[in-house]
Amino acid sequence: MSEQQHRHKSGFETRAIHAGYEPDPTTGAVIPPIYATSTYKQDGVGGLRGGYEYSRSANPTRTALEGNIAALEDGERGFAFASGLAAEDTLVRSVCRPGDHVVIPDDAYGGTFRLFDKVEKVWGLEHSPAAVSDVDEVAAAIRPGETTLVWVETPTNPLLNVGDIAALAGVAHDAGALLVVDNTFASPYLQQPLTLGADVVVHSTTKYCGGHSDVVGGALVVRDLELAEKVGFHQNAMGAVAGPFDSWLTLRGLKTLAVRMDRHCDNAERVVDFLTSHPKVGEVIYPGLETHPGHEVAQRQMKRYGGMVSFRVTGGEKHALQVCERTEVFTLGESLGGVESLIEHPGRMTHASVAGTDLEVPADLVRISVGIETADDLVADLERALG
Ligand SMILES: Cc1ncc(COP(=O)(O)O)c(C=O)c1O
**Residues 268-320: pLDDT tens digits?**
999 999 999 999 999 999 999 999 999 999 999 999 999 999 999 999 999 99
Q: What is the pLDDT of residues 180-213, one digit of tens each?
A: 999 999 999 999 999 999 999 999 999 999 999 9
For the CA of 217, the nearest atom of ligand 1: 10
Collapse the DSSP code of 380 into the 3-class scheme (helix H, G, I; strand E, B; otherwise coil) and give the result: helix
Residues in a beta bridge with 365: 312
Q: 249-258 as b/e, with b when 16 or more CB fall inside 10 Å?
A: bbbbbbbebb
Pocket test for ligand 1, best of 83, 107, 109, 247 (most atoms within 8 A of CB): 109
Position 350 scores a pLDDT of: 85
Show the ligand 1 pocket: residues with CB < 6 angstroms: 83-85, 109, 111-112, 153, 157, 182, 184-185, 204, 206, 216, 218
**What is the pLDDT, as a whole number, of residue 4?**
56
Minimum-distance ligand 1 atom for the alpha carbon of 85: 11
Write down the pTM of the prediction.
0.96
168 within 8 A of 135, measured Cβ to Cβ: yes
Indicate which residue's Cα is closest to atom 3 of ligand 1: 204
> 3-class SS at 382?
helix
Q: Whose CA is nearest to atom 9 of ligand 1?
A: 84
Residue 340 has pLDDT above 60, yes or no: yes
| pLDDT tens digits, 215-264 | 999 999 999 999 999 999 999 999 999 999 999 999 999 999 999 999 99
Please list the active-site residues. 56, 109, 182, 207
